[in-house]
A = this chain, B = another copy of it.
Amino acid sequence: MRGRGDGGGEGREVGPGTVVTPSAEFPPLDQEELGALRRIGEHWRVPPDGAPPDPERLPLDPTLERSRAEPAPGRFGRLAPIAMFTAGEPGELVATEPANIPGTRAGRALSRCRRAMFGPPLTSAAVLYERMRKLVALPVLSSDLLSSVAYGPEAMLTVLVLAGGGALGLSLPLTALLAVLMVTVGLSYRQTVVAYPHGAGSYVVALDNLGVRPGLAAAAGLMVDYVLTVAVSVAAGVHAVTSALPSLARYTVPLGLLTILVLLAGNLRGVRAAGNLFVWPTYAFIVALLAVLLVGYARAGARGFEPVPPPPVPATEGLGLLLVLRAFASGAVSMTGIEAVSNAVPAFRRPEWRNARTTLSWMIGMLVVLFVGLTVLIHLTGLVPTPEKTLLSQLARATFPTGPWYALVQAATALILLLAANTAFNGFPRLLFFMARAGHAPRRFLHMGDRLAFSNGLIALAVTAGVVFLVFRGRTEALIPLYAVGVFLAFTLSQSGMVVHWHRRRNRGWRRRAAINALGALLSGLVLVTAAITKFTEGAWVVVVAVPLLVLLALAIHRHYRRLQRSLALHPPPDGRRPGPALTAVPLPGAAEPGAPAEAQELPQQVRHLVVVPVARLNRASLRALAYAASLRQPTLAVHIAPEDPEADRFREQWEAWGDHVRLETIVSPYRTSIGPLAHYLEALHASRPDVLLTVVVPEVVVRGPWQRLLHSRAEHRLRRALRALPGVVVTSLPVHLAD
């Protein structure tokens, strides 16, 4: 029932095209299609050999208006179906909530279950109220970015310490470099948010300015990044907990999977609930880290900022440029999460772009303060990374040797890492939504669940992240090498796209803006290349392989949808019957277009019918099928498949006893199959007259339970499957419900 395959053009339009709405599943027709539609409509004629049906003369009232005065009792002892609809605008009905509940018992139970877990469904009208204030947006969106200081400095130092304890001193210049990178990319993104006020994700920006493949590459990088954000954040969060409670360390994997499940459930409940749930951990984390910094620097100041020499660590690798670059690339993972804000601009309150930009600035400022502050403090305190305890945990312990403060810091860290994972749950489905709208991802990611969340995207993320977490057994340090490549690919493409953007517009001050974005692109690109090369063997190769594959997959999906759209697009009728003014067009004769193949018949007068009724046996079901077929007043043919000649003769006698009202054709199937010969017979009929549309009327006995289904051959089901591939064969299932 979906029609539109390709929305590629829409992704490129700047403006409301990037707003998330439930209507995205129903894109409008373009002007050309509207014109074709109008011209097709002018040709519409009902076949002339009968009275044209008066569209107003229906045997019942479709508005259900009249009946509502006295609602009919529901057949299944539940809400009367008529009461499930209220009148909307004239000519409109509005479905109430019960109308969404399936009619089967299992379906109703499932529906109750979902409601209990995820809350009652939300109407589409609620989507506007799901916007975020800045003070809510900051914690929800920045958690990804800020939380990465919980593992970013450690990732950098873990690499440096390979060259021995002495190499740790290099962390200071590297930190300075990273701070420059953060500020540059931050400034760069501030410009993007303003330029794309309706959502400035790397995918949209790269698609818009650089083309389809760069756009998809950015999207693939982001998808990988989102999955890794969940896996890494959950791993780091669990690590923060097990640093404080070492006895839990062996439950790392189940704890992590449980966390992912809880996050999924929370997000299936919807955006707003998730936001409110997760506002406080970010603030708690910021406060906790600021407290650590304050107390730490006060202590360091007390001893004249003299660094404590780190314990001697033997070098396992030489201190070369490659090692330093690898440390730099590892530290750069702290920058993952900037994307969250730019992707979520429309989720801000109005004016969206200004609120988003302010939030972004705050986030970047906070990131630089925390990252630089922590790295320098770690240097001053002389800490060395160890596998058992996180550096942050060591720092907190060193800063607060006694009292509940240490535990509070660890709890806040674990919570913000959860929240960071949650950010990915915001971004991933949104990205897939945009991709799906452009035909680059399966259409089902367009659908908003009954809580206004993109349930399919959420589930896809949770499953993928769960698998990644399981494969890497929840070890943060094993996941980090995969991390930087995807996100910096997206950064680089997005900033490059912005350069093209400014160059195209050439507004006032475009050179300055383009320069900032170009610098951002350059630095991001350097980090990307560094990360891909230095960490290739440690795991980055997975991403280097996955991104092109994802791009190819997206292109294949796009090709499929484009083919679908080409097949379904409206075309004006061919030249030979150019439309005159509607009034002068005379009705076409009955067989006006005898040559149109069955699947090209788009006007009632073109359709040539043959109704085929397969009859295995004369009983109430098959007689109903025959009566149904005959009541359509189209040429009708009954087909009987007999296993043996005598059986065929006997059936023909019965047929004559009945009165031979319908032409009967008998097929003897000496191999005792019925579906195969029937399908091939219909194919042969179609081959002999491709312009005749065959309608096969099959009674379908409806049974209650699944065990009863075992007692039936389900011939109707098998026949439909066999006929699906045949062109021009319509299958009509006539339900036969058993009397009790």
Contacts and interface: CB of A to CB of B under 8 A. Distances in A.
A223 to B, nearest CB: 17
Contacts of A121: 671
3 closest A-B pairs (Cβ-Cβ)?
Answer: A41-B659, A123-B670, A3-B617
A659 B582 CA distance: 10
A687 B624 contact: no
A130 interface: no
A609 B657 CA distance: 28
Interface in A628-674: 628, 630-637, 639, 641-652, 654, 657-674
B567 A38 contact: no
Contact of A67 (B60, B665, B672, B688): B688
Given A94-B667, A670-B123, A676-B100, A607 B631 contact: yes
A95 B724 contact: no
A693 B122 CA distance: 34
B663 A55 contact: yes
B692 A644 contact: no
Contacts of A60: 610, 685, 688-689, 692
Contact of A58 (B75, B619, B635): B635
Contacts of A104: 725
Given A29-B618, A38-B657, A687 B75 contact: yes
A442 B711 contact: yes
Contacts of A651: 26
B643 A623 contact: no
Contacts of A350: none
A557 interface: yes
A264 B44 CA distance: 60
Interface residues of A, number: 195
B730 A687 contact: no
Dominant secondary structure at the A interface: mixed
Given A25-B672, A61-B688, 14 more contacts: A23-B644, A26-B651, A49-B51, A52-B633, A55-B661, A59-B635, A60-B688, A80-B687, A81-B687, A93-B667, A99-B676, A124-B672, A603-B627, A628-B693
A643 B124 contact: yes
A412 to B, nearest CB: 37
A538 interface: no
A84 B673 CA distance: 14
Nearest to A633: B50
B732 A668 contact: no
Interface stretch (A166-174, A319-327, A713-721): A713-721
A566 interface: yes
Contact of A635 (B53, B685, B733): B53
A41 B661 contact: yes
B683 A100 contact: no
B627 A601 contact: yes
Interface in A699-725: 699-703, 708, 710-713, 715-716, 719-720, 722-725
Contact of A101 (B94, B123, B676, B716): B676
A164 interface: no
Contact of A620 (B61, B568, B631): B568
B609 A22 contact: no
A3 B676 contact: no
Given A94-B668, A667-B93, A619 B64 contact: no
Given A608-B59, A665-B63, A702-B725, A657 B41 contact: yes
